[in-house]
Amino acid sequence: MHIRKLAPHEPPPMELLLLADPSRTLVEEYIARGDCFVCEADRRIVGVYVLLPTRPGTIELVNVAVAEPEQGKGIGKRLVLHAIDEARARGFHTIEIGTGSTGVVQLALYQKCGFRMTGIDKDFFVRHYEEDIYENGIRLRDMVRLSLDLQDRLHEN
Ligand code: COA
């Protein structure tokens, strides 16, 4: 299993990207501006993440997804840690991520990788998504913002 940057001529794994973000419009918009990385096992793409520079010195992990049959095996964590290393290697000082307040697995994963909560974007998903989204039996409304200072000493978890 290895993680590599998707080449410009390769089609992005849209089905996987839509697992993490149901808005095809938003996904198409940020993959055009960001860098897409894929995790391959036996020549199949089983995971993806997208990094997008947002402000000077800051980059955002705007999408991370693992194919459903492969979830819970540590691939998501490897992708997030790879994204952190990639951002640090490119000289960014902060990496950010925004995730639904209802995403228990996601919130655990990002905090295990060293991210800290910085704020809540109230009603983000009501404002930006046409259809109601339910996760873990809760209507998704708010986005939790998290960030990691890349100049801090390396996270030890
Ligand atoms: N219940 C609770 N926590 C769980 C869990 C479960 N069923 N499955 C995973 N976790 C947590 C654990 O804390 C685990 O940490 P550990 O390795 O120390 O035990 C951590 O998540 C990482 O698990 P991992 O196996 O690396 O995650 P994954 O490969 O399943 O990937 C996602 C995680 C979120 C990327 C994956 O579930 C996914 O693609 N979901 C759909 C898309 C999505 O929601 N993306 C995020 C958008 S913000």
Residue in the structure block whose two tokens are 């998704």? 140
Calculate the alpha carbon distances from 100 to 42, 51, 113 in Å. 31, 18, 17
Average pLDDT score over residue span 31-35: 96
Amino acid 22: pLDDT: 87
Tell me if 71 CB under 6 Å of ligand 1.
yes
- Domain range annotation of the chain: 2-149
Return the amino acid letter for 132: D
The CA-based dihedral angle spanning residues 126, 146, 103, 90, taken in that order and rounded to the nearest 10 degrees: 110
Question: How does pLDDT run across 99-136, given as a tens digit for each residue?
Answer: 999 999 999 999 999 999 999 999 999 999 889 999 99
* Ligand 1: nearest atom to the Cα of 67: 39
Pick the CATH number of 2-149 from 3.20.20.450, 3.40.630.30, 3.30.1390.10, 3.20.20.70: 3.40.630.30
Alpha carbon 90 to its chain centroid, in Å, reads 17
3-state secondary structure of 120: strand
**What distance in angstroms lies between residue 68's CA and the mean position of ligand 1's atoms?**
10
Rounded-to-integer distance, Cα 97 and Cα 81, Å: 13
Residue bearing the CA closest to ligand 1, atom 3: 105
Q: The whole model's pTM is what?
A: 0.93
Burial class (CB in 10 A: 0-12, 13-18, 19+), 76: buried
* Whether pLDDT at 63 is above 80: yes
Backbone angles phi, psi at 29, to 5 degrees: -65, -45
Q: Which of 18, 19, 66, 75 to mutate to test the pocket of ligand 1 (most atoms within 8 A of CB)?
A: 66
> Reduced to 3 states, what is the DSSP secondary structure of residue 39?
strand
Pocket test for ligand 1, best of 109, 113, 133, 145 (most atoms within 8 A of CB): 109
d(CA 114, CA 84): 10
Residue with tokens 């991370």: 64
Evaluate whether 64 touches 33 at the Cβ level (below 8 Å).
no
